[in-house]
Structure 1
């Protein structure tokens, strides 16, 4: 009979036969799973070996015909990749061992019946040839309402899963659910971070995170580009190095003042962290770099974390144009392709003559396009056009 997980009874642990160190190691692997390069590879492998299974899988999102699933396997899927037709692309539609009651731990033979399972398309066409006969599974509903699947497969010679094996899964299932919830939150945060990072990169704004000792923790693509030019500022030994000695001293002072401004107490009424700014001359003679230094408030629990950033250094090259899509300008202002290209050149400070040369057209043609651009943007002067474009969402594209 299938077993459903609500509150784990003490007898389950006795049936599972865990030792304390063994159970602790399994829980450690489960909660470490979201941070692994191949999520839950350690936990899946540990459970697979413990239950003498041929394969273990955690499916966070079941596949459909128009969208692949999100699945983690041990051994990895390519271990059995003899058939180009995969579970994602085809066999998921033939899988009858789905839609288990949430939290229920059962075997495929109990759920479907032995005859029905052995006559199923997925067993005859795929799993039989891979020597996967017996399956133990559970469906897990996360706090976000997503239904995940946990599956273990055994070979024909290994025999079906026992009541003890089911008890092992019952004892682990609540922890797998919590770890998946953590993974889901991390995934959402990473998606948001990626969106913000993309927007900053598109605006060609360099951002470098420093710890409280001034050591670089992370730099985005725009910052790495500026620093790789070694034109007055670079990274050396994990720290900023400025070519000009006076600027170097000033920069260090501002970084230290910024970090020291982080409030020691976590009182909501405490003054906010300090923001400092300076500009840097470049030996090449190019325009000065703009530098802003802002302290990052530290959460109380992360004060002793050596990887916690203390401040961010923002580096901007005023001569560097943002990476704006002509297509986005067309959509925003109903420009033609030629008008959008011209508007982008105007926003980047080009004169009419320079724009005509860049577009390989006559100046009169540029003037004609510019009148249409003014009309569609609702402005009458080039300065207003530049302000309108720069204040639009185009730079975030």
Structure 2
């Protein structure tokens, strides 16, 4: 009988309890085969605000806290000497959810015992030239690794052109979504609409979920809505620098636009279930293209029909479950949105496709099992 293998997965993102879902799900689906330890910082400054390690009762994986130094910079921070002990002592595989070109990624590679395989995860879908010392760090990590996980097919294809990557086993594994929390529940959506002063009966609700920034296609969606002859209401959920202009535009639309900010993750399923169609018109720029499209996976899980652009990873995320449109083609967007708004049958078809894709492709047990399968293939 094969002994239980020990997996240590390291990430500064694990300071947030919600981000340890991957580690916990790997422990659940791998029970009896894998013992999983998640290594997380005791404290991390973060992009928006300082975060003290969030602990949850009865997590499936073990949680090991270590210090993180210089955590104001995601590129420059390191874990320090405490990490070495967490990576030693009978560990069978180390997984680093840190980019290979940052200091912490190189630190994990250097501190992992030589006989222990290292697998790192990456979301870099743009071709970049890193300045010293980051280019050297990337080469070190890739050379030390036994394999790597790409969070998108475009990530994988981009990195296969870089030195060393093609010589290591790789697998595209998407991010996960909680299909129990994110599920079809129109009553929940109706309650959300009533909080906004709307009833469920009325023109279909066109939804947007995400940052209020130009690259997410907010301006394109506003232009499309203005061109529609089909009755509509619009719900924008998120936040960002375009909030003021979005609210000003909404005030000119005769009460058929709501802009909602400050929605917690726990409330996102309610917002999605309030929508009759979700639009995600991401726009590629020189420095950015969509890396995954979490709003798509969450919308699919809630059974919301999805219209989205062809920016970056989106075609791979959407598959045949959503309507993928040319990102800058306003006429195509207007025609497609009109068709979906005017056809309840088409919306039901897209709803069913989306839910099926969420359950079979993005649910956390599926994503966790894919990780463990890849780790086992690396170990042989």
Give the TM-score range, shorter chain. under 0.3
Relative to the length of structure 2, the TM-score reads 0.24
Q: Which has the higher helix share?
A: 1
Relative to the length of structure 1, the TM-score reads 0.23
